[in-house]
Structure 1
């Protein structure tokens, strides 16, 4: 959530930057400033009224002690009137706070200066590409959904029977490869200094609001009405909420955590060949990295997270590229996002496998995640997170790019985890 002082001090900049998201936020920003001015006026009036009431109460006590009950009773009538006024002001102040919050909660984060205007993924900028590991496949190469059936490692029809489309069943060596990837990603992350957590797979509405899923993505999450809980769309939600309502010492920063969870998303998008197989699912596995950073270091940390994911893809020997998302494709809570995509040679297309984002103070303001700075003042931290990595499309990339006429070769770095070298 944007901070009101930032909006007041940078009104035109906020409006201009939000235009990159194709949003005309002029009315909302003006409403924020107007509600804040009204809130300040009411707070000042309430404070003055309470101060006057307290002063009269002391005078009443002194008058009773000196035997001047008649004068004291006159002042008591006045304090009663002031109490009614203060209650009315307090109610108006509460109503104004609600109005201000309702506008702020709907405002997305302000994009970073590097973010370019744009409407969709077609306007994203390619900032890096490594095609050195792009294979030349044999003449009868297949897409991963055909390979999954051929080698009996993923059963999409069985998942559809048990639950519905978008819930695959991994079998035999397919399941072992999936487990190997999860363990490999976690090992890489912990070796880089991230502390591993096992996280809940359901969260309450406060947690979903804290990271920006509510109200922005309410329709995309599975909701358990009887318990008022949401199935997590990503480990970002429970992981970042570890730090909700916390105050840290400056020396505690940075903090880095990692965790594996299944992820659940109702909106799987449009249907067709471009979303077949593992390309888009309602349930999938993902390993996440999350950082809490000092504001002065968060963009260095973002660059470090990008390099970390690059190192994993180099070890997997997969062709990949990095995109800097345009304003129209940047998520509600993010200030700057880099997407990683792996190239599927069999499908002749790029598949998104990771998003790495800096949210600056946007989530921290909702979460009340603060640290005590060198001057002893409480300051909002910066939060960052990224997929390291999302499994379905990584698995699809491995299955397709490592296929041979004899079977699917397992990347060297994964063979100690799988216990086998080929799926045949």
Structure 2
């Protein structure tokens, strides 16, 4: 707890509460951005207790010839060390008064980030009087959520059938297959191409993909890209503008940002696949082709459901941010925004762009964008925590430790690769906990709204 100078202003007070106890007169002022002020006037009894404590503390700290530490008479201490005693009394009284007031009020002080400052008005040791003003930040207050007011658009049901199973079998065979380069013709539908793609709207142009493999067909490649590379040959460079396909959802069309791009064709390939037999399926942990198909169907169907659930989670998150409004502490927002900006500056490309190319207006827009993202992330954390606590949703360490994958799992759930919870730092474990907490909160709400 630190003493500091502080101007007194009631101009932005949101609410005020007065409370008298046997030892204190308390005024609680709540301000925007979760700021709290406590004005506390302690009685003479508490003053006397703090003064006695101050004498004992100062007496143990100072030395006077002829007296042992802690045995110096009060009159001598008061004569020689009055400023020390005044300061020590003030600090002791501030701590005692605050702790007693907090016991009565139970203010949810912001954990891990709160700094409690105070100043004393009209403090007099002789008259045993003074007004102590404390200011600090408290935890955000998430309002009760009316689940019936939440609604989201649900994606259409896509049944898992033989066609999808064959596509997934092809995916696994291709994973273990080899690639044959084609050098005697131009690109046809069904080929694979290795491309460099640059964003020409950036200055200088930014490389989006480097030697990335794409399959040239209607399902895997946008129509705009197929139109400009079909019939082209290795080594050629083409330019075009990205756009969503006509059959994309309205949500994707609405959020899609067209980009002028340059595409360099590095290589044209065909895939050479291993035969689907018992020897092959043993590579992925199955004994027979039939067992492989059954397990693959189960995993692929689960992956489809997981992807659908992720989409629903994203949509309910946006709905929560829109419907559940509350203030967050400025300290948290500033820290989160600074961390995100630092993360951006850790990339050399962004740092060069910021230093050499961006105007002051563009920098301000970027800062505002990062601040908005930070505020949404903080609000989501507190919303999720509120839901988990209110409904006693359990989060265990076992859930945080994702199971080790088999070969088949590894192909379908790539986020599992290299994950070892026990080797994470405490900060990383905290991030994983927050992610799981948000996921559980989202799933709980989805179960409520049907």
Identify the TM-score tier after normalising by the shorter chain: under 0.3
Question: Which of 1 and 2 has greater Rg?
Answer: 2
Q: TM-score, normalising length from structure 1?
A: 0.22
Query: With CA pairs under 8 Å and 6+ residues apart, which has the higher RCO, 1 or 2?
Result: 1
